[in-house]
Amino acid sequence: MMEEPFYDFEQDSTSDFPFWSPMDSNIQLQPQPENGLSDCSSLTGQLSPWSSFTCQSMFPDDAQISLTDLDGQALQLEGSAELDSSLLVQPKANKLHKHHRLIPAPPYKVQRYAANIRERKRMLSINSAFDELRCHVPTFPYEKRLSKIDTLRLAIAYIALLNDILISGCHPKSYVEQCMKNGYKSHKNAIWNTSDLTTRLSWIKWN
């Protein structure tokens, strides 16, 4: 069986760029409301080190691609019986990813390519949700960007702690101070190191 020819995006030359800029040490933790609960609506528009979700990190310079762009590509695909080879052999300015990718040259399944676009779009929306979640969990200003798994675990621990504060009826600040003194003992089995969590919260209160 004949092998399909492949196009190597690597040949298009790549310009390196950081996925994420180094964190500015001056960036402050987002202050939490006095009751320790975040107002989502107020936070939505706020900037945090990790909140600026765009695709520019993946698509450098003029090659930024958004969900809308992916929509356009998908529509273009769905509307064409024949797949334009220009969509498969990505031009330099429209390079999908700096990673080494081997895309079969035409004839290539139009449906498969459209499915890839939908999948990328889906992952983008998931990642934007992760970015939004990162805005709502306490992080140190010098801390590097939380990974997805750490974001989830910290969010779980944070919610558990907030729940404990509500149940205790204590003032959040004094509750956190108490946790700092005695060590936080949550009945929840939060994987995230809870003492680390209280340290984060105490930092928020005192800075």
Partner DNA sequence: TAGGCCATCTGGTCCT
Partner DNA sequence: AGGACCAGATGGCCTA
Contact footprint for DNA (CB under 7 A)? 10, 14, 16, 18-19, 58, 78, 96-101, 103-104, 111-120, 122-124, 127, 145, 147-150
Minimum distance from residue 82 beta carbon to DNA (Å):
15
Minimum distance from residue 109 beta carbon to DNA (Å):
7
Minimum distance from residue 203 beta carbon to DNA (Å):
20
Degrees, nearest 5: CA angle 148-207-154: 20
Q: Determine the distance from the C-alpha atom of residue 64 to the mean position of all C-alpha atoms in its chain, rounded to a whole number.
A: 16
Segments in 60-193 forming alpha helices (H) = 67-79, 85-88, 110-134, 148-168, 172-182
From 65, 50, 56, select the one nearest 131 (Cα to Cα).
50
From 156, 152, 160, 118, select the one nearest 132 (Cα to Cα).
152
CB nearer to DNA: give 23 or 29. Answer: 23
Degrees, nearest 5: CA angle 27-32-33: 145
Cα-based torsion angle of the residue sequence 105, 109, 112, 114 in order, rounded to the nearest 10 degrees:
90
Degrees, nearest 5: CA angle 10-6-78: 100
Degrees, nearest 5: CA angle 98-103-105: 135
Minimum distance from residue 18 beta carbon to DNA (Å):
5
Minimum distance from residue 57 beta carbon to DNA (Å):
8
From 123, 147, 139, 130, select the one nearest 49 (Cα to Cα).
139
CB nearer to DNA: give 51 or 178. Answer: 51
Strand partners for 104: 6
CB nearer to DNA: give 84 or 119. Answer: 119
CB nearer to DNA: give 100 or 181. Answer: 100
CB nearer to DNA: give 18 or 45. Answer: 18
CB nearer to DNA: give 152 or 166. Answer: 152
Minimum distance from residue 160 beta carbon to DNA (Å):
21
